[in-house]
Amino acid sequence: MRNPNLKPATGKLGIMVVGLGAVSTTFITGVLMTRKGLAKPVGSMTQYDKIRVGRGAEMKYLPYNEIVSMPSLNDIVFAAWDVYPVNAYESAINAEVLKEKDIEPVKDELLAIKPMKAAFDKNYAKRLDGDNVKQCTSRWDMAEQIREDIRNFKKESGADRIVVLWAASTEIYVAPDMKYHGTLAALEQAMKDDVKDKVAPSMCYAYAALMEGAPFVMGAPNTTVDIPAMWELAEKTQLPIAGKDFKTGQTLVKSGFAPIIGTRMLGLNGWFSTNILGNRDGLVLDEPANFRTKEVSKLSTLESILVADEQPDLYSNYYHKVRINYYPPRNDNKEGWDNIDIFGWMGYPMQIKINFLCRDSILAAPLCLDLCLLIDLAHRAGRYGTQRFLSFFLKSPMHDYTKDEVPVNHLFQQYVMLKNAIREMGGYEADEEID
Ligand SMILES: NC(=O)c1ccc[n+]([C@@H]2O[C@H](COP(=O)([O-])OP(=O)(O)OC[C@H]3O[C@@H](n4cnc5c(N)ncnc54)[C@H](O)[C@@H]3O)[C@@H](O)[C@H]2O)c1
């Protein structure tokens, strides 16, 4: 490897997943099946993508693990927390994402993944009623208990490095409030004072992870690490953080399709997105306070791609609406519809319809793998704080809103950021500009 400052990926990587539901079990099962040569990790950038490095005669396209040191899938060990006590095997069966034939060959390994008690507060997800929950005297105590779990898992598994990934239900929306979230000291005080409505359980997981030296990834739209207090903690502990919200179905399409409209200077009158979804995620999102968190995340995508201030004739007045409807018969097989009202030459209207019959967890699983492997890579490369190069995988990329930073939502600009970060961590120069 060309970069002598990149620590090699030696030993085991412990991935501790918050939530052992549809996404997590699909992710874990897929990794275990791939390890046995019984499945392919389709959709994973770290396992398939090749990046150009060098110029002229030196130019070549290399997979990530030939540019930077990466762990093999055999080096990963898993642990999880969940509100429900069922092990990863039962949970994978219950989720009905994968067929039994794709689960049975790794049954023993899945049976061994029994969820630790969750740091949970029912007020944050009213529709969940599991009892595998920690008894906590305060949010501070909650974080202390999670820290102990991380230490224990590290010791028992022999993992050299730990990454904590949130793939648990979406919590109710916690708007950033500078009184409690503005500084690390304020957040720690709020945890000690047990200010329950400002310190979400997810914040306790993130706090615990960073205090135990583990990078943290937020896969739901929760504002958990998207607050100045957590940015400060990540700086202080020199650990990378990333979030938020896996970019899977409709928003992937949106961030890839909106550039067509913007690049060809077509106008937009409105974009209506709706979904039907019948898994537990859909059930939780049926609660308006939980949906609000998702809505904020999903709405942010278009505004930074089709920008009113830059093209007032084209984008100053579009109506953007996103709905998710809980519809049990479809389970994890989400169906999304997008109706896009555009206009062209002399203002003449046209419509585009997109109907995406996707599988939510099948799309999310490779993102879990890539986010965990790449945030571990970032840590080994000495990067810390918000990892903007991981925006490619996220619906609502973290950015410093206190300084009016605009997030990059454009899928292809995000891809350039991803490639350049890998190049740089591999000791090559970043060579594609983002305009
Ligand atoms: N699948 C996708 O395409 C996609 C895309 C973006 C975001 N997400 C997000 O990923 C998350 C997981 O989705 P899913 O389909 O696996 O949901 P799921 O309901 O199947 O699983 C979530 C699990 O988290 C557990 N949980 C909730 N609060 C917890 C806590 N405080 N501690 C520990 N466990 C807790 C629940 O008991 C549940 O088993 C959701 O927040 C969802 O919004 C999914």
The alpha carbon of 323 and the centre of ligand 1 are apart by a number of angstroms equal to 18
Q: Is the CB of 19 under 6 A from ligand 1?
A: yes
> Ligand 1: which atom is nearest the Cα of residue 120?
31
Residue with the smallest CA separation from ligand 1 atom 40 is 169
Q: Could you read off the pLDDT of 185-207 as tens digits, one per residue?
A: 999 999 999 999 999 999 999 99
Low-confidence residues of the chain, pLDDT below 70?
1, 294, 297-298, 435
Q: Domains for the chain: give ranges and CATH numbers.
A: 13-246+361-425 (3.40.50.720), 250-357 (3.30.360.10)
> Ligand 1: which atom is nearest the Cα of residue 24?
16
What pLDDT is attached to residue 300?
A: 76
Q: Is the CB of 393 under 6 A from ligand 1?
A: no
R_g of the chain, CA atoms, integer Å: 21
Q: Is the CB of 170 under 6 A from ligand 1?
A: yes
Mutation pick for ligand 1 pocket among 134, 281, 330 (CB with most ligand atoms within 8 Å)? 281
The span from the CA of 153 to the CA of 335, in Å, is 38
Residue with the smallest CA separation from ligand 1 atom 17 is 281
Q: Is the CB of 119 under 6 A from ligand 1?
A: yes
Contacts within 8 Å (CB) and 24+ apart, 291-296: 291/324, 292/172, 292/173, 293/170, 293/171, 293/172, 293/173, 293/220, 293/221, 293/222, 293/223, 294/170, 294/221, 294/245, 294/324, 295/322, 296/173, 296/221, 296/396
Cα 383 to Cα 215, 234, 313, 317: the distances in Å are: 11, 10, 41, 39
What pLDDT is attached to residue 286?
A: 78
End-to-end distance of the chain based on CA atoms, in angstroms?
30
Considering Cα of 322, then 328, then 334, then 338, what sign does the dihedral take?
negative
What pLDDT is attached to residue 220?
A: 95
The span from the CA of 343 to the CA of 264, in Å, is 11
Q: Is the CB of 362 under 6 A from ligand 1?
A: no
> Ligand 1: which atom is nearest the Cα of residue 130?
37
The alpha carbon of 219 and the centre of ligand 1 are apart by a number of angstroms equal to 9
> Ligand 1: which atom is nearest the Cα of residue 121?
31
Three-class secondary structure of residue 424 per DSSP: helix
The span from the CA of 211 to the CA of 213, in Å, is 6
The span from the CA of 372 to the CA of 71, in Å, is 11
CA contacts within 13 A on the Cβ side of 179: 5
Residue with the smallest CA separation from ligand 1 atom 5 is 246
Mutation pick for ligand 1 pocket among 23, 173, 283 (CB with most ligand atoms within 8 Å)? 23
Q: Could you read off the pLDDT of 54-74 as tens digits, one per residue?
A: 888 889 999 999 999 999 999
> Ligand 1: which atom is nearest the Cα of residue 395?
6
Q: Is the CB of 324 under 6 A from ligand 1?
A: no
In sequence order, the 6+-apart residues with CB closer than 8 A to the CB of 428 are 2, 53, 54, 67
> Ligand 1: which atom is nearest the Cα of residue 294?
43
Q: Is the CB of 166 under 6 A from ligand 1?
A: no
Nearest partner of 255 among 414, 435, 389, judged by Cα: 414
Q: Is the CB of 21 under 6 A from ligand 1?
A: yes
The alpha carbon of 344 and the centre of ligand 1 are apart by a number of angstroms equal to 41
Mutation pick for ligand 1 pocket among 165, 169, 362 (CB with most ligand atoms within 8 Å)? 169
For 209-360, list the strands marked E by DSSP: 216-218, 240-243, 267-277, 319-326, 335-343, 349-357
Q: What is the 3-state secondary structure (H, E, C) of 10-23?
A: CCCEEEEEECCCHH
- Percent helix, strand, coil in the chain, to 5, is 45, 20, 35
The alpha carbon of 167 and the centre of ligand 1 are apart by a number of angstroms equal to 5
> Ligand 1: which atom is nearest the Cα of residue 361?
1
The span from the CA of 229 to the CA of 179, in Å, is 10
CB 251 within 8 A of CB 301: yes
Q: Is 175 exposed, middle or buried (0-12, 13-18, 19+ CB in 10 A)?
A: exposed
The alpha carbon of 234 and the centre of ligand 1 are apart by a number of angstroms equal to 24
Strand partners, 321: 272
What pLDDT is attached to residue 299?
A: 73
Q: Is the CB of 281 under 6 A from ligand 1?
A: yes
What pLDDT is attached to residue 297?
A: 66
Q: Is the CB of 336 under 6 A from ligand 1?
A: no
